[in-house]
Amino acid sequence: MFILISGASGSGKSLHAEEMLAKLQGSKKFYVATAKVYDDEMAERVKRHQARRRGKNFTTIERPRDLGALDVPPGSSVLVEALTTWLANEMFEGVGDGAAGKILDEVRRLEAKCGNLILVADDIFSDGVIYDELTERYRKTLADLMITLAAEADEVIECAAGLCVRLK
């Protein structure tokens, strides 16, 4: 099963994804963290996520790029946190403009390897701000990627204010 969960920062999407992963029966569970720590704010966010995962029997893999090459057992359950950061890592430190195609291939490869794939993505489209050209290209790429992945996903969930609604 492939599940895409989206929402703004602080919407409850990560907690919801972790709860879904924890409830899956009979499979090894992996939490793939794509974030890199660049400042104190990100370090604090990572600490909060790590503390929340304690005792949930997830194996954490810190992997900012190249997720298609993950060595996970067949039938395992994988939560990727988050598509948004993964795309930034690939666009700005990896393959550049080919990042979306690479990620689509890697999501499909990862989905074929594991039994359950939960992919978390940030909704960064509602602030009404027009950004510089590079940021707008990133946002457009993320939007297109999320549309494609939502069409392929078995379930799509949107979270806001701690409430998560199944859209598909």
CATH classification of the domain holding 27: 3.40.50.300
pLDDT digits (tens, 9 = 90+) for 109-168: 999 999 899 999 999 888 888 899 999 999 999 999 999 999 999 999 999 999 999 999
Q: Which residue has the tokens 């990627």?
A: 145
Is the pTM here over 0.85, yes or no?
yes
Question: What whole-number distance in Å separates Cα of residue 2 and Cα of residue 150?
Answer: 10
Domain count, the chain: 1
Three-class SS state of 5: strand
How does DSSP classify residue 130?
-
Question: What whole-number distance in Å separates Cα of residue 94 and Cα of residue 92?
Answer: 6
pLDDT digits (tens, 9 = 90+) for 18-60: 999 988 877 799 999 998 777 778 778 777 777 776 777 888 8
Determine the structural domain holding residue 153 and report its residue range: 2-166
